[in-house]
A = this chain, B = another copy of it.
Amino acid sequence: MFELKERDGLARICELKTRHGAVTTPALLPVVNPNQLTITPKEMQDEFGVDMVITNSYIIWNDERLRLRAVESGVHSLLEYDGSVMTDSGTFQDHVYGDVEVDFREIVEFQRDIGSDIGTILDVFSEPDFTEDEARAAVDETLLRARGSAQLKGDMFLAGTVQGGTYANLRERCAMELSRMNFDMHPIGGVVPLLQDYRFSDVVRVVMASKQHLPPSRPVHLFGAGHPLVFPIAVLMGCDLFDSASYAKYAREERMMFPTGTRFLSGLRDLACGCPACTSTSIEELRAADPEERVKTIARHNLHVSVQELKNVRNAIHEGSIWELVERRARAHPALLEALKALEENTEYLERFEPVSRRGAFFYCGPESYDRPAVKRYRDRFFSRYRRPATKALVGFEEGKKPYSRSYAREIAAISESVDASFIVASFFGPVPIELDEMYPIAQSVLPDTLDEDVVRRMRDVMERHAHGHGYPIAAMWDGVETLEFLKDVARRRRSIDMDMLRCRAVLDMQFGRGAANILDGKEVEFVKSRNTGKIRNVIIDGRHALSMRAYDGRFTLKIEGARLLSEALPPPRMRVVVEDEPAQFAAKGANVFAKFVSECDPDIRPGDDVIVTNTKEDIAAVGRALMNREEMLAFERGIAVRVKQAVE
């Protein structure tokens, strides 16, 4: 029912298929109140392209007239809508108005019986001010009801809501237990009061504690989140669905939503919005309109802006710039900036889902950029995977000098030339040996000349750790890509170091893990280079084409020959995706590897990695590009795990 299509870390574009069609996520489910249709579901479909709405089964159940109609002709007919319909259960009503008079089993059966595409359990709302004991009780009761509800769902998809207040341990436990049950989706509940109070860092803690313990193959729904302000960061954390009554609620207060916040109509000079609702009127007309029409226009604006921001988010996933989008949007409110900082605690987890490279550049947005998974990964891999070449490695470090200075780079280069040494440059990402300068993200980064002080200090710390670890001083210098270009020029003019060989070895180790460069030992290695750029194109080992270097990210594309050599140098499970034997035969003929057939996978494989596809007997079937990490390959029932690039047969 749920298939991964594109991704940027945990942020992902998926297809969710219900009995009423396919929905592209991340998606916003507008809340439809059957008693108060500011915008009808039909209009939502036609004007906004909304493929799924959410309505409240408790409100329907609780109103005899609505209940009878729903039971007789179904919820789709009640709403006059033929897209997908999700139903909520009354939990939120219980939170707002107190006791809801319905049995948890009855409301699930009711949702099933009225033909809801996705029903929701009647979980217990855990308030942010709950003590740990109260929150634990809410979780226990939620889990009890979840277990009972899962048996009743029939053909309906069922959503099992994660509760636990602001207690990470309770969220974790709740998520873990729910993952073992037969659910199709997991809302994260109890966050509305946090959102209302702009407690976004608490939202981050709650979502991350939950998300990490839910199966990656089930959509995550951030219950009650309907403001475009939070969409980017929520999607970054792996949320797939949102729902919103806000577009209508805000409209009734004459408040207009924007991706950077909310404004009262009265405070605006101009509508300053190009959406169809705003371009159909002027601010003067809107102010003079009759209240009902005004509310409807503002509701339409709010929904347009929300739907658009999710398209914007999907574009960012597509081009691999979700971090940039989130860091930009975080400036909309200091509480969002806090939330971004709170996310830093999860860098290790986030790194597991972070693609190894992207086509677009890495844009620096502020001190927070230093905590992106791609930066941490570069540093970690440098320290654990990079092996210093035999040539004397670097050279020079001037105490008290600011860590980036082109003139200093020139001095170092001059010394370096005379002593036959290799360079290591202090960069934003960490120490960069000159032979790694073309590998993502080094050359693909766009940085300002002057970095924030926090970042410079942290850069220095890393460099000093490195210098200390290697027992030689470091040239503390950094001036963005230009310095690298300069040093590269110097390196090119030198004969004594075989830069191609250095680069090939360094990239092999960095990309596939320490030891990968051993495949070159004692072999005859030939480099085919681009006539235009002089860059390595292909690596021929003992006469066979083993590797190709990609121009856009300076990483290797693996050929079957390369996979053979690598599989000798690196013991299983390294860089392997193990596929059941029958599907492996198809892969060996060039078919892509579907997640459902993956039986094991190297936990160090990251999305975008070039991997070796084998059968369970360790025979190589193919090489290709991983679209998922291990957790995902083992969890997903649908979708491609490895896009096969070359097959043995």
Whether A272 contacts B314 by the Cβ 8 Å rule is: yes
* Segment with Cβ contacts to B, from A128-136, A358-366, A499-507, A590-598: A358-366
Which residues on B sit within 8 Å (CB–CB) of A366? 331, 337, 366-367
Whether B272 contacts A274 by the Cβ 8 Å rule is: no
Whether A453 contacts B450 by the Cβ 8 Å rule is: no
CB of A71 within 8 A of chain B?
no
Question: Could you say which of B269, B328, B449 contacts A328, with CB atoms under 8 Å apart?
Answer: B328
From known contacts A275-B274, A276-B276, A457-B453, infer whether A269 and B341 are also in contact, taking CB-CB under 8 Å: no
Which residues on B sit within 8 Å (CB–CB) of A551? none
Whether B269 contacts A314 by the Cβ 8 Å rule is: yes
User: With A and B bound together, what is the CA distance between A314 and B269 in angstroms?
Assistant: 7
Which residues on B sit within 8 Å (CB–CB) of A457? 453
CB of A390 within 8 A of chain B?
no
User: With A and B bound together, what is the CA distance between A327 and B329 in angstroms?
Assistant: 11
* Segment with Cβ contacts to B, from A85-93, A303-311, A607-615, A622-630: A303-311
Q: Tell me the minimal C-beta distance from A445 to chain B in angstroms.
A: 9
- List residues 236-267 of chain A with CB under 8 A from any CB of chain B: 260, 263, 267
Q: Tell me the minimal C-beta distance from A379 to chain B in angstroms.
A: 19
Whether A312 contacts B272 by the Cβ 8 Å rule is: yes
- List residues 261-317 of chain A with CB under 8 A from any CB of chain B: 263, 267-276, 279, 304-305, 308, 311-312, 314-315, 317
Which residues on B sit within 8 Å (CB–CB) of A450? 338, 341
A contact patch SS: helix
CB of A332 within 8 A of chain B?
yes
Q: Tell me the minimal C-beta distance from A443 to chain B in angstroms.
A: 15
CB of A318 within 8 A of chain B?
yes
Which residues on B sit within 8 Å (CB–CB) of A272? 308, 311-312, 314-315
User: With A and B bound together, what is the CA distance between A331 and B457 in angstroms?
Assistant: 21
CB of A452 within 8 A of chain B?
yes
From known contacts A274-B275, A452-B454, infer whether A365 and B331 are also in contact, taking CB-CB under 8 Å: yes
Question: Could you say which of B260, B276, B279, B315 contacts A270, with CB atoms under 8 Å apart?
Answer: B315
CB of A335 within 8 A of chain B?
yes
Instruction: Using CB atoms, name the residue of chain B closest to A309.
Output: B272
CB of A319 within 8 A of chain B?
yes
Q: Tell me the minimal C-beta distance from A5 to chain B in angstroms.
A: 10
CB of A572 within 8 A of chain B?
no
CB of A402 within 8 A of chain B?
no
User: With A and B bound together, what is the CA distance between A191 and B273 in angstroms?
Assistant: 29
Most chain B beta-carbon contacts within 10 A, residue among A6, A263, A364, A365: A365
From known contacts A274-B275, A331-B327, A334-B364, infer whether A318 and B449 are also in contact, taking CB-CB under 8 Å: no
Ordered nearest first, which 4 A-B pairs have the shortest CB separation?
A269-B318, A272-B311, A274-B275, A334-B448
